[in-house]
Structure 1
Amino acid sequence: MLPRRGLVAALGATGMLPFAAHAQDNKAQERWPSRAAQMIVAFPPGGQADVAARPTAAALERVFGQAVPVVNRPGAGGILGSASVARAAPDGYTALMALSSLGVLPESERIMGRAPAYTVDQLAPVARITADPTVLVVPTGAPWRTLEEFIADAKRRPGAITFGSAGNYSTLHVAMAMLTGSAGIDLLHVPFQGGGPALTGLLSGTLDSLASGPGPALPHVREGRLRALGCWGRERIPGFETVPTFIEQGHPDVEFYIWSGVFLPAATPAAIQERWREALRQVCAGDEALRRALDAAGSPVAYQDGEEFQRFFRDDTARLVRAVQRIGKVD
């Protein structure tokens, strides 16, 4: 009989310890989740990612039987929070509720001459939760009642009308760049640290206009504080049925969507990724509280997962990267 230390050494020498470790890993995956799994939002509270994350996390708690706290980690237009998940331990306990800017930000870093803080291949797409066209909103006290009036005034006063965004090269920046390019107008870009602060800036009178997700903007439109002039979708948005699309208004190439989706570190075991996917599929299909919350926010469920979401993410990212390259370097 070998003493315990000798037995361990002998097992290691014969290559049996890796099998034991593998078995332990399998057991850990079978028990997953055994503790809270946090959901990172790379923007401040109040923006589109936050609107999607909070009811989704609450629904997941009912499936996982564990807490799913939402942690806002803003900075650099979404780069800091996204990079933190890309570098997180691949154990399934750190997920990202991302927006479509996720694939754009690394390219924007390259354009600015910086090494990207993360790359998209460091993150695994798990499931899409929502997909909403953005909507152009202005304060009700602004002089423009239609898109035509807004564009005409912008042409008379190049660079005088401001618009906000969640940061340079963010989804809100790219969406507005599509419109200004199509309309041939020059607006003054004012970047914020997220869509929530940008919306606050619009409501407080700091900004003249904003490309917003429909969810955050809808309550203020209903209350009469904001006016919508157009939307970036191919079809009109629920809750904004009287607001024509830009395609209807003569801008056929101005089409853009803010989508929200859950990502995990790329090295997360396939079994744990599938556990997340199964849970998200379940809550998006059958959790009435989640669906009511997103419907009330004007951002209904538009679920995708698996190869369908991977293909959507790849194609959408390629289109947005081309738009960012057209914007070029921002001083």
Structure 2
Amino acid sequence: MKTTRKQFNTLLLTALAGGLFGSASAQTAYPSRTVTMIVPAAAGGTTDLAGRMLAQALGPAVGQSVVVDNRAGGNGNIAAIAVKRAEADGYTLLMQYSGYHVISPLVSKTASPWEQKDFQPVANVLSAPQIIVLRADLPIKNMAELVAYAKAHPGKLNYASSGNGSLQHVTGAMLEQQAGVQMVHVPYKGTGPALQDLLGGQVDLTFGTAPPFMPHIQSGKLRVIAVTSKTRLPSLPDVPTTAEAGFPGVDAASWFALFAPANVPKPVIDKLTADISQVVNTPAFKQKALEQGATADYQNPQQLGDKVKSDLVRWAGVVKSARIEAD
């Protein structure tokens, strides 16, 4: 049976249309399987909390499982490299911590194994200022007393951090610069060991996001004297900000945001961004964040990208003046 030109043209148009609509359908079908969210920290910290909160809420929104894969180590580089090398299809994402994303590259002694251009912003999820936490038996009740004590006893106070070049280390250096004091930095391999030695009295104070410290603050084992942000934490309403205490330059809020490999298609990013906006802005998500000492803080890709650029400039000055290097 012969195919007429008219029939041939109809078949051709049908095939082309099917291809076009098939491609569109494939794009809108994302995700069609499990999405993996790689977290550059061990379980228990705020980065892990941000990842698990988002994964739990995002799964039902996208209709697929979203699982957390903890890959701690290397100042966040192990996780970042894994996502950088992943297929750019939106099924492997990075729940990133600002300390790793903007400070680790600044303090590295060698060239960073990844660059900002290797990732594209998806959405900011949580924000959490650093808090200044002391062992409860230290005779210091506020920022003024801390600075006075440090000036009267140069080099006697020590502060713990989660490692050389960590955000806690840089925050401590910022406070020293702003207050004109000298303290001893004691680096640990993570917030967990630093917290344990603070509780044990081996170190005097530390800086960090609130979630890991909240149970010990509530029990009276630790004392918090300031929040390093422009506004007070709703979960610690009686604790003044560093600005209120006379040190507005000590502003060290952390953020926790989702990034994707650089070449993930825009329709996938758009869908993720829209779904994250929906879940982060729910009352339930906001309340859970507040209970943990953080704030639900959705920001779109453009806003997150701008934040990264401004933070790189801001922290570079502190790192350079304090001569901070990672191990």
C-alpha separation in 1, matches of 2:252 and 2:210 = 12
Matches within 5 A, 1:161-310: 161-286=157-282, 288-310=283-305
**Alignment counterpart, residue 134 of structure 1, candidates 130, 133, 139:** 130
Deviation at 1:258, TM superposition (A): 0.8
* Match status 1:103 vs 2:102: yes
Q: TM-score, normalised by structure 1?
A: 0.85
SS of the residue corresponding to residue 268 of structure 1 reads coil
Deviation at 1:24, TM superposition (A): 7.8
* Match status 1:52 vs 2:36: no
SS of the residue corresponding to residue 260 of structure 1 reads strand
Larger deviation, residues 317-326 vs 275-284: 317-326
Query: Corresponding residue for 1:81?
Result: 79
C-alpha separation in 1, matches of 2:23 and 2:105 = 32
C-alpha separation in 1, matches of 2:196 and 2:75 = 16
Deviation at 1:28, TM superposition (A): 4.3
Change over 3 Å in CA distance of 1:265–1:255 after alignment to 2: same
Deviation at 1:56, TM superposition (A): 1.0
C-alpha separation in 1, matches of 2:202 and 2:61 = 42
Larger Rg: 2
Query: Corresponding residue for 1:10?
Result: none
C-alpha separation in 1, matches of 2:51 and 2:294 = 12
Deviation at 1:90, TM superposition (A): 1.3
Query: Corresponding residue for 1:93?
Result: 91
SS of the residue corresponding to residue 281 of structure 2 reads helix
C-alpha separation in 2, matches of 1:21 and 1:174 = 54
Q: TM-score, normalised by structure 2?
A: 0.86
Deviation at 1:301, TM superposition (A): 0.7
Deviation at 1:23, TM superposition (A): 8.7
Query: Corresponding residue for 1:327?
Result: 322
Question: 1:74-130: CA deviations, max 9, x gaps?
Answer: 112222222322232211111111121212211212xx2x11111111111111112
Please list every run of 5 or more consecutive structure 1 residues that lacks an aligned counterpart in the other structure.
1-19
C-alpha separation in 2, matches of 1:199 and 1:79 = 23
C-alpha separation in 1, matches of 2:149 and 2:79 = 38
Contact 1:44 1:193 in 2 (8 A): no
State the 4+ residue runs in structure 1 displaced beyond 6 angstroms.
Answer: 20-25
Contact 1:76 1:167 in 2 (8 A): no
Number of aligned residues: 308
Change over 3 Å in CA distance of 1:81–1:166 after alignment to 2: farther
C-alpha separation in 1, matches of 2:285 and 2:192 = 21
C-alpha separation in 2, matches of 1:27 and 1:193 = 47
C-alpha separation in 2, matches of 1:305 and 1:199 = 33
Change over 3 Å in CA distance of 1:153–1:29 after alignment to 2: same
Matches within 5 A, 1:151-166: 151-166=147-162
C-alpha separation in 2, matches of 1:99 and 1:105 = 10
Change over 3 Å in CA distance of 1:26–1:320 after alignment to 2: farther
Output the aligned Cα RMSD: 2.3
C-alpha separation in 2, matches of 1:148 and 1:281 = 40
**Alignment counterpart, residue 33 of structure 1, candidates 18, 27, 31:** 31
Question: 1:63-82: CA deviations, max 9, x gaps?
Answer: 12222111221112222222
SS of the residue corresponding to residue 136 of structure 1 reads strand
Change over 3 Å in CA distance of 1:193–1:72 after alignment to 2: farther
SS of the residue corresponding to residue 245 of structure 1 reads coil
C-alpha separation in 2, matches of 1:46 and 1:304 = 24
Contact 2:158 2:183 in 1 (8 A): yes
Question: 1:37-60: CA deviations, max 9, x gaps?
Answer: 111111122222112111111001
Matches within 5 A, 1:1-16: none
Please list every run of 5 or more consecutive structure 2 residues that lacks an aligned counterpart in the other structure.
1-17
